[in-house]
Each structure stands twice: as structure tokens, then as C-alpha cells.
Amino acid sequence: MELRVKDICKEKGILFKELAEKLNVSDIGLRASLKGNPTIGTLEKIAEALGVPFTELFERPKSDTASLTCPNCGKNINIKVE
């Protein structure tokens, strides 16, 4: 799932470097953390620094259905999002 941190920074007129400074981490460290698998704690701190709800950091579904691939058989599974 894609994170929207860069988009939210852009919307709020905050440079990524400024966000890193608010979090007391380096710009490179923040980017590495977001590329990897950031912890919930890290995401909560980012959301607080940006002044947005935690859920805003996650990309919204583009439609009312989501598709997953079954890890056992490889078939697509469609899920309706309400």
C-alpha cells in the first residue's frame, strides 16, 4: 500500500526536509524509513507532525472494489469496499 506522505507535504507546502526536522531525524533517514516498513509509531509521529489523521497517510482505493491475489492458488479475489 502506498503512503501519501509526499503528497500531503506538497498539499501543505511543507518540504520533506522540514518534516524530517520536525521529527528530529535526517531527511535520508525519513526517506529510508518510508521506503522500508515503517512502524505504526513512526507513522503516528508523521501524521501528528503534518497535522493530519493517521488514516490520511494511506492511499485511498481508486474505486469501490479492491483486488487481491490468493497466495495459495494465484486467483484474483475482488472485494467490494463500502
Q: Which homologous superfamily is 5-80 in?
A: lambda repressor-like DNA-binding domains (1.10.260.40)
pTM above 0.75, yes or no: no
With a CB cutoff of 8 Å and minimum separation 6, the contacts of 25 are 33
Nearest to 14 by CA among 23, 4, 24, 6: 6
Domain residue ranges of the chain, discontinuous segments joined by +: 5-80
pLDDT of 25 reads: 94
Residue 68 pLDDT level (bands cut at 50, 70, 90): confident
